[in-house]
Structure 1
Amino acid sequence: MSTPTIKSKIGVLHSQIGFDDGVSIVIRQIEEVMIRQLKIPASKIFYLCGRAGNGGANIFVHPQLWHQHWINRLMLKNYQRGYTDKQKFLIEKAIKRAQNIIAKFIQQTQIQVLIAHNTSHPVNFITSLALARYYQKDGFTPRYVLWWHDSHLERERFLHPSPQVQRYLLAGVPGPYPDFIVFINSLQWERSKSYFKTLEKRRPGFYRRLQHNHQVIYNTADLEINSVKSLITNPEIKRLVRQFLIGYRIKERLRERGLNIGNTLFCLQHTRIVPRKKIDFALQFCFALQQKFSSSSRFRGVLFFVSGYNGDEGEEHKKHLWEYFQKLQQSYPNAKVILLFAEDNPYSEIKFRHFPFVFAYLGGIATYFSEMEGFGNNLLEVLAAGLIPIVYQYPAFKSDIAPLGFKVIELSRYKLNDNFLNRVIYLLNSSSLRQSWGQHNLKILRRYFSHQTIATKLKLALGI
C-alpha cells in the first residue's frame, strides 16, 4: 500500500450523501475540513453512494448500495431468524454485485484512501460485506478508514443475530480489514473490544494494531452566528422566519385555535422521524407543559414542529405519532397543542439545518429525548442556533457532551413531574436567561466543536 499524502485522492463511501441524516452532515463537514484545513483539492475527493441529494462529476451513484434497497431490507427483516437458501442466494448475488461496483470505483478514481462511513452497522449490510470481500480478495489498497457512527454492538435490536447473521457480522460488518477507525464518542472503543478480539482468529494482530490506530473525533458544528443577539437583526434569518410563517400557514393555524405568535411556545423536534428519537415522549411533554401554563404566563399554547423526514431505519413511525397525538388530545381535552411536520410542505425552501434559527428567533425551545445517539449532530445544530434544548441523558451525551458544561435542561428518566416542568417554565419566562445560556453554549461550541478542531486528528486518520 502506497503512503497517502496531501496530494492523494480520497474516496468516500456511504449509503447516501447530501441529505439531512447525521452521517450526511458529517460527510459534508469532513469535506470542508479536508479542503480548507488540509488543503486537499475538491477535485481529488470522490464519492460512491446508493443515493445522492445532489449531483457532480465526482459523485458515483449505484442504488444497490442504498440502505433502503430491498435486498438490504430483507437482510434486516430476517436478522434474528436467518435466511432461506433462496434468500441466501439473492444476498450473495447482491454482495458480489456491490463488490464489483466498489472495485470499479477504486480502479476508475485511483484513490489512495477510502473513508467508509458506518460499515460497522447492519443497516449497511450489503455494502459492508462487499467492502470486506474486496479487501479480502484484492489486498489492502487503498487505505481503509472506517468512520464508526454506530454499530450492531450498540443497539438492542441488533444484539441477538441468528448464527447465520453472526457469521456475516464477523466476516464483514466491519470485519478485520480497516486500517484505522474513527469513533464518534468515547464509549464505542470499549464496547467494540470483544468483537475486535474475536477477529484475531481471522487476521492475527488486528486487535493489537487497532489499539494504536483508532481515534475519537467528535461531530462538529457549523457556527453561522457570533451571538444570540445577532439573530434578531440578521436579515437572512428574518427572511427564513417569514418563509416559515407563510409556507406552513402558521398564523392561520394559530388563529384557528385562538392563539397568536405572541402567546404560543414554538417547540422544535430537530430529528428524523424514527422511534429511538422518542418523539412520542416529546409530544407528551408538550401537552403536560401546556397544562402547567398559568394565567400569569404569556404562553397559552404550543406549536410542536418536527423538522426531519419519515421512513428511515426501516420504520414507518409517523402514523404512530399522529395516533398518539390524537390520544393525547382526548386525555387533555382543553390543551392547545398543534403538531406539524416539515415534510408535509415539500415546496418549502427552508433547509433542515435552518429550522433551529427560525425557532430561536421566535423565542422557542427544542426537545431532544433520544434514547440512543452515536453522538448528536442535530443537538449541535440546535445549540449552534442559540436555541436551548431539553435533553434526555442518553449515553453519549452523558459521557462526552454534558461534561463540557452546556447550559441545557436535562432529564434522567422518561418521566415528567412538576419540578421538571417548572424548571422549563422558569427558563421560558426569562428571555435574558435564555439569551445568556445560548451565548454560553456558542462559546463552548467554538472551543470544542468547530471544524478546525478535528483537522489534526483527521490528518492522522487519513495517514497523510
Structure 2
Amino acid sequence: MFPHIVPGNRSNGSSKERKKLMESLNIIGSDAAEQIHQFILENDIDALIAQNTNAMPMTLVGAMAVYKLSSEYKTAVIFHHHDFWWERSRFSGNYMEDLLKEIMPPTDPSLEHVVISSYAAHNLRTIRRVHPHIVPNCEDFSNPPVMDDYNRQFREDLGYSKDDILFLQPTRIVPRKRIEDSIYLVSRFQQKYPELKEHIRFIISLYQGDELDDSYVHGIQKIADTEGVELDLIAERVASVRGTDDQGRRLYTNRDVLVNADFVTYLPVWEGFGNALLETVAARIPLAVATYLVYKTDIMNRGLDCVEIRDDYDVNGRLLIPDNSLEQIYQIVTDPAVRAMMTEHSFNAMKKAFGMPVLQEKLKGILESYGDEILASRRRLAKKKTTFSV
C-alpha cells in the first residue's frame, strides 16, 4: 500500500517516495478518522482512550487517525502510553521524524496523557513538555490465578512429572527480556546443586515477539544446549483463552502455566513496568528479578519479597549472578514453608500497592481532571448529531 520506506532507515526512499508516502498516510488516516468519528457519533461516546496508539510507530494509520480525531474533530482523547519511539534506537534518525514529533504524541493542551511509570512521566515531561498522570500496571488480586481441575492437567499434558522443578519465563521472546541471563541462572543453579539437575526444566510460555527475526530464538536455544539446560518453548500450547488446538490438545492460558511453575525468572534489562511480575505474584509463585530501571523507581520499595539480582553485567554483557541468589532459590524450591511465607508476603504487599482499588482511584482522578474537556466534547458531538439529522 505504501512505498517501501522503513521508518528507522535513512537509506531507503527518495524525496518523491517520501512525499507520496506522507500523502497516502494523510488520506488513509483521514478516512480512518472519519469512520471512527461516525462510530463515536452513533454510539454517544464521550471520550476516546488511545491505548499506545501514539507512542510507537507500529500502526501509523491508527496513529494518524487518532491524531486527526483530536486535532480536527476536537474529540476528547486520553492517551495511554507505555513507552516511546525515541527510546528505541531503530527509530532514531529516520525520514519520518518530523511526523513522529507531531503526532507521537500530540501536545495540544486539550488532551490528557497517562503513562505507566514515574520514569515514563519524567521522559515525557522532558522531551515533549507534557505533564502526564501515572497509572501503574495493576492486577486483580481478588481473582488471582489458582490451581483448578483444568490447569491441574498441565504437567501431564506436556510431559512433566510432579517431581520436576519447573523454572518459567512467562514472557514473550524478545532481546530486552534478557532470556539468556535466565538460562545462565538455571545453568548456575544446576551446577551448584547437581542432585537436582535431572528434575529441572526451563520453560518459556509465550511467543516470539515483534522486535526480532528468528536469530534471537535460535541464539537462546544454542545457549541452552551449551549450558546443559532443558529448554521447552511451549507457546503453541498457550492461548489467551482455554480451548483445544487443531489436534484436539488442551490449550492453557499463561496464568494456567504460572500456577504450575515452581519458580519464575524475570531478568529484563528494560521493562515499561512489569505485568508478568504482578501476575506471578498474584499466582503466589516465587521469582527472581533483575533490578531494571522502573523496578528500582516504582516497585522495589513496595514490599516485594523476591530473589533480587542487581543489574550489574560483566564485560561480555552477562548478568552477574551472586552465589547467595542461588542459595535463596534452593531454599525456596526445596522448603514449602519458606516458599509459602515469601509468596504470601509479596501477594499482600503488591495487592496494596497495585491492586484494583489503586487503579479505580487513579482513573477516577483522571476523569475528574479531564471532566470539563469531556463535557465540551460531548456538547460538540451533540451539536453535530443535530446538524446531521436535519
Return the TM-score normalized by structure 2. 0.80
User: Contact 2:175–2:216 (CA<8 Å) still a contact in 1?
Assistant: no
CA distance in 2, matches of 1:459, 1:72: 44
1:345 to 200, 222, 237: 237
CA distance in 1, matches of 2:209, 2:162: 31
Which residue number in structure 1 is paired with residue 57 of structure 2? 122
Alignment of 1:289-368 (within 5 A): 289-295=189-195, 300-313=198-211, 315-317=212-214, 319-330=215-226, 332=227, 335=228, 337-345=229-237, 347=245, 348-359=250-261, 364-368=262-266
Percentage of matched positions with identical amino acids: 22
CA distance in 2, matches of 1:324, 1:152: 26
Does 1:223 find its partner at 2:148?
no
2:337 to 415, 429, 432: 432
User: Contact 1:223–1:384 (CA<8 Å) still a contact in 2?
Assistant: yes
Does 1:449 find its partner at 2:354?
yes
Distance 1:457 1:419, change over 3 A: closer
Which residue number in structure 1 is paired with residue 111 of structure 2? 179
Which residue number in structure 1 is paired with residue 315 of structure 2? none
Once the two structures are overlaid, the 10-residue window that deviates more, 408-417 or 120-129, is: 120-129
User: Contact 1:267–1:304 (CA<8 Å) still a contact in 2?
Assistant: yes
Q: Which runs of 5+ in 1 are unaligned?
A: 1-69, 198-209, 252-259
Q: Partner letter of residue 330 of structure 2? A: I
Does 1:390 find its partner at 2:288?
yes
SS in 2 for 1:309: coil
Deviations 1:178-219 (A, max 9, x none): 61111110111211223224xxxxxxxxxxxx54xx311111
Alignment of 1:54-133 (within 5 A): 74-78=5-9, 80-81=10-11, 83-84=13-14, 85-110=16-41, 111-118=45-52, 119-133=54-68
Does 1:411 find its partner at 2:309?
yes
Distance 1:179 1:316, change over 3 A: same
1:154 to 77, 87, 96: 87
Q: Partner letter of residue 188 of structure 2? A: A
User: Contact 1:185–1:374 (CA<8 Å) still a contact in 2?
Assistant: yes
CA distance in 2, matches of 1:224, 1:246: 29
Distance 1:397 1:107, change over 3 A: same
Q: Quote how far apart the aligned CAs of 1:246 are.
A: 3.6
Return the TM-score normalized by structure 1. 0.68
Which residue number in structure 2 is paired with residue 261 of structure 1? 162
Q: Quote how far apart the aligned CAs of 1:144 are.
A: 1.2
Which residue number in structure 1 is paired with residue 150 of structure 2? 239
CA distance in 1, matches of 2:265, 2:281: 12
Which residue number in structure 2 is paired with residue 283 of structure 1? 183
Deviations 1:124-177 (A, max 9, x none): 433223322343333x2x21101011112433444x323x32211211111223
Q: Which runs of 5+ in 2 are unaligned?
A: 239-244, 313-318, 372-390
Q: Partner letter of residue 339 of structure 1? A: L
Q: Quote how far apart the aligned CAs of 1:87 are.
A: 4.8
Structural RMSD (CA) = 2.6
CA distance in 2, matches of 1:117, 1:189: 16
Q: Quote how far apart the aligned CAs of 1:294 are.
A: 4.2
The count of corresponding residues between Structure 1 and Structure 2 is 346
User: Contact 2:3–2:20 (CA<8 Å) still a contact in 1?
Assistant: no
User: Contact 2:50–2:79 (CA<8 Å) still a contact in 1?
Assistant: yes
Which residue number in structure 1 is paired with residue 378 of structure 2? none
User: Contact 2:169–2:266 (CA<8 Å) still a contact in 1?
Assistant: yes
Q: Quote how far apart the aligned CAs of 1:353 are.
A: 3.0
Q: Quote how far apart the aligned CAs of 1:115 are.
A: 0.6
